[in-house]
Amino acid sequence: MKIVSVGDVPWNEVKAQAHADGRRVSVWEKFLEWSPERMVIYARYDAGVIIERHSHKSDHFVFVVAGEVLIGDRPCPAGTHITLEHGAAFGPLVAGPEGATLYEIMTGDPRAVPADPEGFEELLARRGVQPLPNPPVPWPDWLAPRTDSSGSSPGSPPGAAG
């Protein structure tokens, strides 16, 4: 048995963007559990952050705890549960005006796999958003390198955001 308090786990910035209005917006994650079998995260999306349409190499369960996130063209307010089977793509994700807090579970390899890189680049350009390099965080030895579009920096997390 493992018991973890969200308040005891540090925030890790896993994605960052520069928006046209001068704001730096990010995805922040608390890794409540991170093993080869599963990843459990508590995530905070800053208002307006945009995450590319992607899938994961695992089943993925998302619960919107607070705020709202737009997934594709569907608003997902607090109280929304999303189930994604292994390889199911979703997004792009756009955090609402108050941001969003998510509780996520992935069973197996949590790395994100881009589903529409060109569409994501076009969306960012239309909105005047510049992706910033992935902030470094501790990366487990057993997990292969990051696979999402902005994942070129070593020591980066899986960006389970979304």
In a domain, 1, yes or no: no
On whether residue 148 sits in a domain, the answer given is no
Per-residue pLDDT of the chain (162 residues; tens, 9 = 90+): 999 999 999 999 999 999 999 999 999 999 999 999 999 999 999 999 999 999 999 999 999 999 999 999 999 999 999 999 999 999 999 999 999 999 999 998 998 999 999 999 999 999 999 999 988 887 788 887 777 766 443 344 444 455
Give the domain CATH number at 81: 2.60.120.10
Domain hosting 57: range is 9-131
Residue 149 placed within a domain: no
Nearest alpha carbon to residue 56 among 45, 44, 41:
41
Answer whether the bond into residue 114 is a cis peptide, omega within 30°.
no
Q: For residue 123, is it within any domain?
A: yes
Does some domain include residue 2?
Answer: no
Contact 32, 41 (CB under 8 A): yes
Number of domains comprising the chain: 1
- Answer whether residue 136 is part of any domain: no
> Has this prediction a pTM greater than 0.85?
yes
